[in-house]
Amino acid sequence: QVQLVESGGGLVQPGGSLRLSCACSGFTFRTYAMSWYRQAPGKERELVAVISSAGSVGAITNYADSVKGRFTIVRDNDKNTVFLQMNSLKPEDTAVYFCNARRIAYGEDYWGQGTQVTVSS
């Protein structure tokens, strides 16, 4: 059974930091590209950060322009977990954050249940 379980969300003041975790099971984690998406009220879900599956030259990362330089995505293939370190948080970062695992070539696409991040003073 495939499971993606996010944790680490919460309420933080502007300028603060949070680290989200996504613990995965039920699939071969290291062969999947992992991503974080977010969805704010009344808005569409948007891609925040993605990290490629582990390769011989190391994983490749990419970020939405709105979070570049503030957020970092990393993966731990030994623990089947992907993290999103979020620094210098802004009120506009408030959203439900979702973890995604994807293997495009196989048509496989899995989602977590989401974790709420609220940035407010």
pLDDT in single tens digits along all 121 residues of the chain: 999 999 999 999 999 999 999 999 999 999 999 999 999 999 999 999 999 997 646 789 999 999 999 999 999 999 999 999 999 999 999 999 999 999 988 999 999 999 999 999 9
CA dist 106 and 98 (Å) reads 21
Q: What are phi and psi for residue 93, nearest 5 degrees?
A: -85, -5
Distance of alpha carbon 3 from the chain centroid = 15
Q: What pLDDT score was predicted for residue 104?
A: 87
Query: Which among 38, 14, 26 is positioned nearest to 98, based on CA atoms?
Result: 38
Cβ neighbours, 10 Å, residue 95:
22
* pLDDT reported for residue 55: 61
Tokens 């503030």: give the residue: 70
